[in-house]
Structure 1
């Protein structure tokens, strides 16, 4: 690196940090205001009987809530007849960081993955990755669930009795909330080291984020390597009975 942060005494450093804290608090309050506006959005009804495929076969959307009033669904992209190394690097990064669900459950919220792939094949990917989130195939219901917006990756639903409503949806950088890794990197002096970020001249900017290369090592999603090292099978082939 040709440029490191300036070295100074602690009092000067603290003064600079305190000035930044004012901006950070303003950012937090702006986020609170946006969340308040999000809670005031109207909602649109979704067919509660849409059929998804789970571990026990077809299941209506309303049952995916597992008796809770709210549902957060992440839509996992899928490449048919493709081994684990070729599956979506972005979905693997984001979906793999949602692990401890008990806090959501305590707030009456269910989290589930809605995968575009067939259930038997795609759930093998979940198991290969060591995830234990509820997993459903939405291959036959995806058109109705996306309602023409295929770039959507996360959707929030509300169940009122037997009826289901969509309350929020987002994609792109809107799903960064799922990845604390990114927020942690943003706290560091070097940041994410991605080419789009505003960093001082000379700081490393190693990755073009549009290609997903920052999420991949050795030709496969980074998080897969511990599973490979443990000997887990990653061809995802389903053997006919």
Structure 2
């Protein structure tokens, strides 16, 4: 792949390096070769999913008490009568403004919007927030999210069983018993992020420093830096909420 135009490392430049220009038949032939690898990747993903379905499980106390809109609620009721539960553990910074809340959790959790397809498969999705309910649910409302929201401040140690807070867990309900069937973290979260999948299909990708890109490709983002999910000091998704008139008052400071 050859480069065209200037050598730029910022996404603000109007002129960026570009791939080689070829005729359509040559271009299509290259895509056809790549498609073979893509299909193999898809089949491997299917095989891994099949392995997940064959994992053993471990029992969890169904009476563990979370805090929801009506106060304390047992884990069993978080299923909302469904057989399966996916729980996203949302990190929280006590007493901090909306602008200082977790940009990674905002990025991932905010992309799970339409729940009806999960419900049609007997799956409930819920957020288990590290913060106190009254304060953190105001953040959910500011962001305009409609996912069920619970505080696990008092029960996180029981649910996490020694793991760090930043994770995604799957549970199964069998009558009055609850079992944990799977968990993942870090890049495992990308299943929640269609943004990543879409960026990966563009010529410049995610524009992060770890990516294997041609020399000169724009890579202004460092995946280890909070700024990767922030714009002008806030989690990027917050700006549209402010523009829409949403209040970011979490009740933590005098206004």
Which TM bucket (shorter chain)?
over 0.9
Report the equivalent of 2:117: 103
Structure-2 separation of matches of 1:162 and 1:151: 26
1:147 to 155, 161, 171: 161
CA contact under 8 A between 1:152 and 1:169: conserved in structure 2? no
Matched with 2:83 is 69
Instruction: Supply the distance in 1 between the matched residues of 2:232 and 2:221 (Cα, whole angstroms).
Output: 14
Cα deviation 1:155-197 (Å, max 9, x = unaligned): 0000000000000000000011101000000000000000000
Question: How far apart, in 1, do the equivalents of 2:181 and 2:119 lie?
Answer: 18
Matched with 2:141 is 127
Structure with the higher fraction of residues in helix conformation: 1
Q: Contact 1:157 / 1:164 at 8 angstroms: preserved in 2? A: yes
Per the alignment, residue 231 of structure 2 pairs with 217
Q: Paired residue for 1:168?
A: 182
**Residue 196 of structure 1 corresponds to which residue in structure 2?**
210
Kindly report the root-mean-square deviation, in angstroms, between the aligned alpha carbons of the 2 structures. Answer: 1.1
Length-normalised TM-score, structure 1: 0.97
Structure 2: gaps (5+ residues): 1-5, 8-16
User: Residue in 2 aligned with 1:116?
Assistant: 130
Task: Quote how far apart the aligned CAs of 1:231 are.
Answer: 2.6
Cα distance in 2 for residues equivalent to 1:180 and 1:219: 23
- TM normalised by structure 2 equals 0.92
String of CA shifts for 1:35-74, please: whole Å, max 9, x gaps.
0000000000000000000000000000000000000000
Q: Structure 1, unaligned stretches of length 5 or more?
A: none
